[in-house]
Amino acid sequence: MTKSKVAVPISKELYEKVKKRVEESGGAFKSVVEYIEFVLEELLREEEEETPFTPEEEEEIKRRLKALGYI
């Protein structure tokens, strides 16, 4: 089953940069679309994996900022 696709316009300059990366990838990516999908999926995955500071870490940060005179 294939995923449905939508068109997302990007600048010609960005397209050419990505196309060069695809060509230099040694066959790791077959197309600009494949490369862009990979990069976006990785970026979203990284954002999902980021964990906020624990309450203890937040208090330590506030203490340090206060000691430096920022708050």
Kindly report whether the global pTM for this prediction surpasses the value 0.85.
no
Report whether pLDDT(65) > 90.
no
In tens, the pLDDT along 15-63 reads 999 999 999 999 999 999 999 999 999 998 887 776 778 889 989 989 9
| Six token digits for residue 17 | 């940069």
Domain ranges of the chain: 12-67
pLDDT band at 67 (very low <50, low <70, confident <90, very high): confident
Task: Kindly tell me the burial class for residue 14, based on how many C-beta atoms sit within 10 Å of its own C-beta (0-12, 13-18, 19 or more).
Answer: exposed
Cα separations (Å) of 53 from 6, 9, 17, 67?
A: 36, 36, 36, 19
Top pLDDT among 47 and 68 is at 68
